[in-house]
Structure 1
Amino acid sequence: KSHVEGVVCGYIIRTIAETATEDEIRSDIEILHKIWQQLQLKLEGSKAGDVIYRDLPLAVRTVRDMVRDNVERLRIDSRETWRLAYELAAEYLPELAERVEYYPGERPIFDLYSIEDEIQKALSRVVPLKSGGHIVIDQTEAMITIDVNTGTFVGRRNQEETLFKTNLEAAQAIARQLRLRNIGGIIIIDFIDMVEIEHQHQVLRALKRGLSKDPAKSYITEMTSLGLLEVTRKRTRESLEHILCEVCPVCHGKAVVKTAQTICYDIFREIMRDSYEDVSYRIIASEKVIDMLLNEEQMSLANLQEFINAEIELQVETLYMPDEYDVVMV
């Protein structure tokens, strides 16, 4: 319970506030109290059907929920959105109002700050590291696995130093990617095996430092002898991938498609299964599959024609995906 300006009221504090400072909690209490006062004023002069309160637009909620002392500036390229965000900050968070800026430039703001590139990186399976190594992030129904690889980075002194530097950089990158992608649930990180125990501790500390700035609560276990680390991160909303992407209509979420050679064998089996006497066939497929039939599988195609005692025509369809094909009677 808290006593604010003569009003006794209660507040629910969620686990996300575990690391919040007293000033941050007090600021949130003051904001909630002001909102409650406004609701009471609106309620007095309202009638049935009037809207008393609605949640704020996304951009304004960002100011309310995410802009803190560590944010230097918040630039908005929509004058209307900027006005709403500025008014909210001026009324509830006056110390942040001066940091809410309107961007009037002709160049798109996403281009100015390379936001599109960052989004593409946050959706990519492979994240390159400055050292030459990379991390690979795979998302499944049960868990997320993150694999750390040295790539082309071999180091100049010794292998242990190379592995340590790659893991150290990867730990910082992983903490950032978890937040950017908003990945929640069970996360298994496969760091490269290190012999030195102190190196393992430093990598673990680097990961903890990176996640300490994350508003989503996370728990980190100790690193195993195989370099495996388990992290659990609280799910706050849908991941970036689920918001921006959908299941591939070609591979249906498998992230792989059949090779051209495999498609050729599928076609051969279909013709053999449904072949009739005195009937010729036309295979309509992508250029890659037709090329395979004319070259590597030329002998197999000739044997099939001899087996069914019929001619088989080939036709390229440029609009077909690599694993799409049709077999028609002619």
Structure 2
Amino acid sequence: GWIIRTVAEDLTEQSCKREIDHLFGLWKKIKRKAGSVRAPTLLQRETSLTRGIIRDLFSDKVDSLLVDSKVLHNEIVQYLKQIEPDLLERVKLYSVETPLFDEYDIEAEIRSLFKPRVELPTGGYLIVQPTEALVSIDVNTGRYTGKKDPESTILKTNLEAAREVARQLRLRDIGGIIVVDFIDMESRGNRDKVLQELRTHLGRDRARTKAFAVSELGLIEMTRQRVRPSLWHSMTAECPTCHGTGRVFRPEVVVRSASWPCGSIPTWRCTWWNRSPTSCVSSRSRQASSWRCATTR
């Protein structure tokens, strides 16, 4: 029998048949090998990372695929000939002298995925904050105020935010419960437009997503299937200084707390060093003095 997953719901009958023929041929090859070797032996290994990416992510929704390696380009072409020859013309070998990631500023895009703030085209921005229970996304107008028609301005910002929210969820591999706080709008019709825009762009996601109606507080609650650990969990660790809070004490607080062991020594005459990785704090007074304290951890 065959198991057809929900990700295949948009495949044409011809594409599905090619995939079945490919897998059936692979199964016959495994059976032949099993009958001619002695155990223990390797009959079949998992597909390569390159083929896995092509299988899972490359479809007719992708305009083009640039590859800067002749070896990988050849592997992709040979694989597509077996499963999806109609996509061959979209695979292009990148041969420009400038490195591919530099040409399209990919490294900067990757670094931006670890920042909570996401800029929108018209000046608004998102704040993406993961917590233990859920991920909150706050939408702000920023410098884009639109004094003449604020409702129209807010609608435009919210529509941009809806598109960007769907994109950020995919790029950051965010799963579970997500709550989006869009900018408040008076018109019920405008709120429905934003919800529909969000649902439209979520429809491009391979992971199962569901966005619920706008609440009385103007929030949209949604869920997204956890396909894999999020980018935060897979590529970062808890900060040893702030212990995951994202906050450190202000310099004046550190100075005040460091003065406790000094007893009767006037705090304004003390000089302190806080040797934490995030700050170096000197005394509140730069006056020359014979009094000097030093604290160690």
Provide the secondary structure at the position in 2 that maps to 1:285: coil
Offset, 1:42: 2.7
Say yes or no: does 1:143 pair with 2:112.
no
Provide the secondary structure at the position in 1 that maps to 2:127: strand
Partner letter of residue 159 of structure 1? P
Alpha-carbon contact 1:184-1:233 (below 8 Å) kept = yes
Say yes or no: does 1:212 pair with 2:213.
no
Equivalent residue in structure 2 for 1:44, among 35, 39, 53: 35
- Runs of 5+ in structure 2 lacking a partner? none
Aligned residue for 2:281? 289
Partner letter of residue 327 of structure 1? T
Aligned residue for 2:2? 11
Offset, 1:205: 0.7
Q: What pairs with 1:40-189 in structure 2 (closer than 5 Å)?
A: 40-189=31-180
Partner letter of residue 312 of structure 1? R
TM-score, with structure 2 as normaliser: 0.88
Aligned residue for 2:292? 312
Partner letter of residue 289 of structure 1? V
Equivalent residue in structure 2 for 1:248, among 239, 246, 255: 239
Higher mean C-alpha deviation, range 68-77 or range 11-20? 11-20
Aligned residue for 1:327? 296
Offset, 1:239: 1.1
Equivalent residue in structure 2 for 1:266, among 257, 277, 282: 257
Higher strand share: 1
Alpha-carbon contact 1:267-1:327 (below 8 Å) kept = no
- Runs of 5+ in structure 1 lacking a partner? 1-9, 303-309, 315-325
TM-score, with structure 1 as normaliser: 0.79
Equivalent residue in structure 1 for 2:188, among 197, 201, 209: 197
Partner letter of residue 296 of structure 2? V
Provide the secondary structure at the position in 1 that maps to 2:113: helix
Offset, 1:226: 1.7
Alpha-carbon contact 2:272-2:281 (below 8 Å) kept = no
Q: Deviations over 1:168-189 (max 9, x none)?
A: 1100110111111110000001
In our comparison, the structure showing a higher alpha carbon Rg is 1
Offset, 1:126: 0.5
CA 1:289–1:153: 2 relative to 1, 3 Å: same
Alpha-carbon contact 2:271-2:285 (below 8 Å) kept = no
Cα distance in 2, alignment partners of residues 93 and 22 from structure 1: 12
Provide the secondary structure at the position in 2 that maps to 1:188: strand
Q: Deviations over 1:165-218 (max 9, x none)?
A: 111110011011111111000000111111111101110110011001100000
CA 1:38–1:160: 2 relative to 1, 3 Å: same
Alpha-carbon contact 1:59-1:81 (below 8 Å) kept = yes
Identity fraction in percent: 36
Offset, 1:48: 2.1
What is the CA RMSD across the aligned residues, in angstroms? 2.6
